Amino acid sequence: MARDNKKGFSAYMPVTFLIGCGFFTMGLMDPLYDTYVPLFLRRYIASNTLVGGVMTLDNILQLFLIPVIAVWSDLTRTRIGRRMPFIVVMLPISAVLFHLIPILADVSLWALIIILFIFNIFKTSVRGPIVALMPDTIPGDFRSEANGVINTMGGIGLIVGTLALTRLMNIQVGLPFTVAGGCIIVAAIILLLFVRERIPEDAGEEARIRVVDSIRTVFSSGDSSVPRILLSLFFWFMAYEGVKPFLGLYLVEAVGVAESNAALAQGIAGISSVLLAIPTGYFAHRIGRRNYIRLSLALLTVVLLLIPVTGAIAQGRGLPLNGRLGIFLVLMFLYGAVWIGVVVNSFPMLWQMAAFNNMGIYTGLYYTFSQSAAILAPPITGAVIDLSGYPGIFVFGGVCMLVAWFIMGGVSAGEATDGPVRKQAV
């Protein structure tokens, strides 16, 4: 490992791209799910608040399932690794269920809700092992760069899902979901055939620890950095998850685009995220992860607050659809370019404080706090839309980003040169 460290991140680039296939699948599913499931629900539900409530279903499952499955994979030992058994079983099943969503959306509301529930159980269960696969394989020094690569793969999936597969909606409503499902199965095969998990020599049976003991260790280190990072990411995900489910509806109902273009905002943000994901990791290595995240949060606050301001100005001047859409998409491009700086560097900060035997705990805690925000945010922003219109959700997001910026100011650990908070839980 030391020899490869001297070569730099380039020694780990090939395996990082292979691991990124798992993130590619998430990039395919998430934007299609977030864009079209609300539209499917609106066939049966008129209230934005209720639509937002149903959209928290996956987040509720993630709150409980991701930490449990991630820790379970920490304790798993098989010939193909500790994460791979979960990936090769649950990812293909997720693909099949994803294909069924638009089919059952035509049957009834209850058929749609049931398939969403079953699909999210499997998709949620596989996310933790996929995410933990990277820090298992890549040394702490290079995890920002590696996270940039795998987020690039996720961003490519997002672009393919939003700007390519959505065009298939004009041919058949369910076709994007079917094609995405096929790509997901191929990605699972690639991970199984070409990624080999590495287990350190000192990570044997004695390294297995109780979940409660590991969580206690995380919060009893005497350093407030872990709680601060977790609380910060709660607020920035309140912003992100509060805005994201309604971007498609905003474009259709407020801007006036056709439903086939409802995913444009996420697609444009995905393009800028792909362009900046890898450079973001290198920049943060130079100026520090905490500094880069705080800079990103400040810029996100500005961008989100500019959306309602520029929208009001454009409407007041009577700009045509193309003009209003163009201004919004420029801001969404900037949003994606800056947001990726937060995403790429926040996970590595937590992983930097973890040891091999509790990597899943830190991964699970990340999702516990992020998904708590994702559960709360959509109903809140749905209610904001019902009360004050779509501009209110962008103001809400800007305020949450600003709160996260303040909290991150007290973080003092998690840089590439730092070690674990404690070597292992005891």
Residue 218's pLDDT is 65
What per-residue string of b and e applies to 356-381 under the rule 16 or more CB within 10 Å gives b?
Answer: bbbbbbbbbbbbbbbbbbbbbbbbeb
pLDDT at residue 423, rounded to an integer: 46
Q: What is the pLDDT of residue 341?
A: 93
Q: And the tokens for 315?
A: 């409407």
pLDDT, averaged per 10 consecutive residues of the chain (426 residues), comes to 58 86 82 84 83 77 81 82 90 94 92 93 87 83 86 81 73 84 90 78 52 65 82 96 87 81 81 88 88 96 94 81 87 94 90 77 85 86 89 94 95 76 46
What is the per-residue pLDDT for 211? 60
pLDDT of residue 1: 41
Residue 198 vs residues 30, 104, 127, 150: alpha-carbon distances, Å: 29, 41, 19, 18
Q: What is the pLDDT of residue 175?
A: 87
All domains in the chain, ordered by first residue: 2-196+215-408 (1.20.1250.20)
pLDDT for residue 405 = 97
Block residue for tokens 């090939």: 14
Tokens of 39: 């539209």
